[in-house]
């Protein structure tokens, strides 16, 4: 780039540490990272992109924030993580070329913005999909291991100081694990389960081979496959096509005692059908990091079910997440400037 060439103007619309703003500029010098930290809510913890809910802008500050956002060629984050704010700036800024959401499942927010087809075709939307793959895959392994070793029984006996007769635990290298969704998270799950000696199956649309996967299962054969596996790991995003994919029909067909772990979206599993399957023993254990309604309603039977592990959508949280997302933004900015395809592009028909 020569000194006279205009830099790509990237506006930071969610809280991002100053050192990470500078990191983006260092990684891709052709970007001007525009930020005003005083107009953004402080984070309450790692990767708290929405920030402190008590933060409020004055009328003048809101106008300044909107003007800053509307000056962008590209956006780091959906403004205030609000679909309505995204819709406003897309309509106000015909120069906007690209928006990266900080959420792996950012397609849902883009859908909620209600953009018309012309805007969806004009602006490229990407997500942080894959950035969270490692932590979520670890939780999936933890969940399957907890089921295989019967963690609820161990905790119950410990709580009553009971020393029972010895009993046999299941071994991971004797299990067949079906990963429903072989995207970024699913691929990381496959790598880990394979390394631990499990036989790994995975659902696929493309039919392309994935490292560590012993058998690819077309989605239309899912019902047959679940009757042959010992554990099911769900990694799919929440879309109209995946809603309640794991429902009564699938759960009726599982091998009795199957272990389920969900690190995708809660809407993929029909929780009413799951509870029935837990109660009658078809599902032996469920480790859930995501739920149909979040926070999980305090009246939900899942809280107290003896064979359910509830994790409050926190398995992906990592102090390194913000840096990984900043690096992803810089990498994709370079691709945009070089005319190359961006990674983790949102499908604006199915919104995943």
- Provide the annotated active-site residues: 265, 294, 313
β-pair type (215-218, 283-288): unpaired
- The DSSP 8-state label assigned to residue 214 in this structure reads S
> Are 345 and 107 spatial neighbours (Cβ–Cβ below 8 Å)?
no
Burial of 340 (0-12, 13-18, 19+ CB in 10 A): exposed
> Are 85 and 59 spatial neighbours (Cβ–Cβ below 8 Å)?
no
Which CA distances in Å does 319 have to 45, 59, 105, 316, 322? 9, 33, 19, 10, 7
E-only strand ranges, 174-292: 176-180, 199-204, 215-218, 231-234, 258-262, 283-288
Taking the CB of residue 136, how many other CB atoms lie within 10 A of it? 24
End-to-end CA separation in angstroms for the chain: 34
d(CA 295, CA 279): 23
Whether residue 270 has a cis bond before it, omega within 30° of 0: no
β-pair type (215-218, 199-204): parallel
Taking the CB of residue 205, how many other CB atoms lie within 10 A of it? 10
d(CA 258, CA 235): 17
């Amino acid at each position: 780039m020569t000194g006279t060439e205009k830099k790509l103007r990237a506006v930071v619309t969610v809280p991002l540490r100053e050192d990470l703003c500078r990191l983006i500029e260092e990684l891709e010098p052709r970007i001007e990272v525009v930020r005003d930290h005083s107009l953004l809510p402080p984070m309450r913890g790692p990767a708290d992109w929405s920030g402190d809910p008590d933060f409020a802008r004055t009328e003048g500050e809101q106008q300044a924030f909107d003007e800053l956002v509307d000056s962008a060629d590209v956006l780091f984050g959906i403004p205030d993580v609000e679909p309505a704010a995204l819709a406003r700036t897309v309509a106000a800024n015909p120069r906007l070329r690209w928006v990266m959401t900080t959420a792996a499942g950012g397609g849902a927010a883009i859908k909620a913005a209600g953009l018309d087809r012309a805007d969806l075709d004009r602006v490229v939307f990407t997500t942080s999909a894959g950035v969270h793959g490692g932590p979520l895959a670890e939780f999936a392994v933890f969940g399957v291991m907890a089921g295989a070793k019967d963690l609820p029984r161990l905790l119950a006996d410990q709580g009553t100081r009971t020393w029972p007769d010895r009993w046999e635990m299941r071994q991971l290298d004797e299990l067949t694990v079906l990963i429903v969704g072989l995207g970024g998270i699913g691929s990381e799950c496959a790598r880990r389960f394979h390394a631990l000696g499990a036989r790994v199956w995975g659902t696929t649309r493309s039919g392309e081979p994935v490292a560590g996967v012993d058998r690819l299962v077309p989605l239309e054969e899912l019902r047959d496959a679940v009757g042959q596996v010992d554990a099911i790991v769900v990694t799919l995003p929440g879309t109209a096509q995946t809603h309640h994919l794991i429902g009564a029909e699938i759960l009726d067909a599982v091998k009795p005692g199957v272990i389920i772990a969900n690190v995708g979206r809660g809407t993929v599993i029909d929780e009413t059908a799951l509870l029935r399957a837990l109660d009658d023993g078809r599902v032996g254990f469920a480790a859930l990091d995501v739920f149909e309604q979040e926070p999980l309603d305090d009246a939900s039977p899942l809280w107290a079910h003896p064979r359910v592990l509830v994790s409050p959508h926190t398995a992906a949280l990592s102090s390194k997440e913000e840096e990984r997302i900043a690096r992803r933004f810089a990498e994709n900015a370079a691709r945009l400037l070089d005319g190359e395809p961006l990674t983790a592009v949102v499908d604006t028909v199915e919104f995943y």
